[in-house]
Structure 1
């Protein structure tokens, strides 16, 4: 897996690819995710948000997808890429749910290779991505993010944080580490209004968990810090404690939601 130097080169290739496809429609490209929340870990994606002036046509979608398939993922000896393209007029002025023009994620590679081409669709997660891009303030090209994007109201940040919980729970057995860390991040975001890195969110949650629920999250955190995605192992004893841990965290999330004003 590519290290930090490799990730820098990979980011450059992503920006060049997006710029080559979108041309003058690119307003700016911004890092978000682990890159701006404390640094890349062995299992971290390279997360880039591109803001464009208009939607892509089908030819551009195919070209961008074909290029990303060649510069993303372990099969290419590089990190997974998550590239999100949003049309500025879809998010400024801000409204919820926002619409994503194009999303590439390595978890969808099988569907891409079977013929799926990313299309515009509502994407609540854009609230989180935009918030991270604004706080990270790391333009790769173009204007600074505060000149391009509006801040996301806290109520919409909460809605976006919890919108993906059902999908996460569906993946609990197959992607245990990521699900546990993401739930910890949702919990801390609702409680503090801040989006933390996955390991920092785990630290925050571990300090507030009852002792019987700490080992599961502690193991997930250590896997995240030490191992790529392909190296995830759980003992039978720990695996048996995953669901009780999740139920406890969901209870804490629900408790916070009852205290959050609904919009």
Structure 2
């Protein structure tokens, strides 16, 4: 059984008939998984999970996701249909699992319902991908996200990304490139395609950090990231330039 099938089986075993549908999004539907890509899964449920269900789903994901299991990272999001349809901003998510939170999970944290602006681009990708793993087409389950809320959501994540720039440089630079691309084109693309778009518009002196981030994304496993001192010194000027372009498009 492959990892996606394992994830669908786990969700069904925990939530049973409460699952309306399970859907792929992210790189899987935008252009194919890269070596460092997560398996991104959206689950639409009829109701919020109770504590026992949360712990069961978390425990199952810790056992099938990420490098401890010699597997791709799984990012799994659960939403309650009635809390997303009709759409309102910021949307609320019922459960979020991601490998970047593994330390917190292993220390006893359990995902709880919380506002999740990132659901706007997530649902937009899932709707565009048209890839149900289980259940009806997502277009029958959730409504499209208004374009204004999509833009609000991708911009809302900028402060948090800046906080993790030093520790997760590759993904932060690629995400900033994707934010810039989305604001300029109205489309959500893969991280490497967004990097290509941004590189074509950056002056030469600001290209090397993003070129390196793109290459790491295409070539390396999830946990691998290496930066020379010279490249590190160029990261912040690159970010400042990209954020200036994003600010220009926001005004």
Which TM-score bucket, shorter chain as reference? over 0.9
Tell me the distance in 2 between the aligned counterparts of 1:77 and 1:231: 14
227-236 or 113-122: bigger deviation = 227-236
Q: 2:32 aligns with which of 33, 39, 43?
A: 39
Shift of 1:256: 0.5
Shift of 1:230: 2.4
Q: 1:78 aligns with which of 71, 90, 104?
A: 71
Deviation readout 1:198-240 (Å, 9 max, x if unpaired) = 0000000011111111111111101100001322111111111
Q: 1:188 aligns with which of 181, 184, 191?
A: 181
Tell me the distance in 2 between the aligned counterparts of 1:230 and 1:176: 12
Aligned partner of residue 35 in structure 2, secondary structure: coil
Tell me the distance in 2 between the aligned counterparts of 1:234 and 1:117: 33
1:159-238 paired onto structure 2 within 5 Å: 159-238=152-231
Tell me the distance in 1 between the aligned counterparts of 2:122 and 2:178: 14
1:1-263 paired onto structure 2 within 5 Å: 9-258=2-251
Tell me the distance in 2 between the aligned counterparts of 1:114 and 1:236: 33
Shift of 1:93: 0.5
27-36 or 230-239: bigger deviation = 230-239
Tell me the distance in 2 between the aligned counterparts of 1:215 and 1:113: 36
Deviation readout 1:20-50 (Å, 9 max, x if unpaired) = 1111111110000110111111111110000
Q: CA RMSD, aligned part only?
A: 0.8
177-186 or 230-239: bigger deviation = 230-239
Aligned partner of residue 167 in structure 2, secondary structure: coil
Tell me the distance in 1 between the aligned counterparts of 2:16 and 2:198: 43
Tell me the distance in 2 between the aligned counterparts of 1:98 and 1:167: 18
Tell me the distance in 1 between the aligned counterparts of 2:97 and 2:167: 20
83-92 or 229-238: bigger deviation = 229-238
TM-score by length of 1: 0.94
Tell me the distance in 2 between the aligned counterparts of 1:237 and 1:252: 24
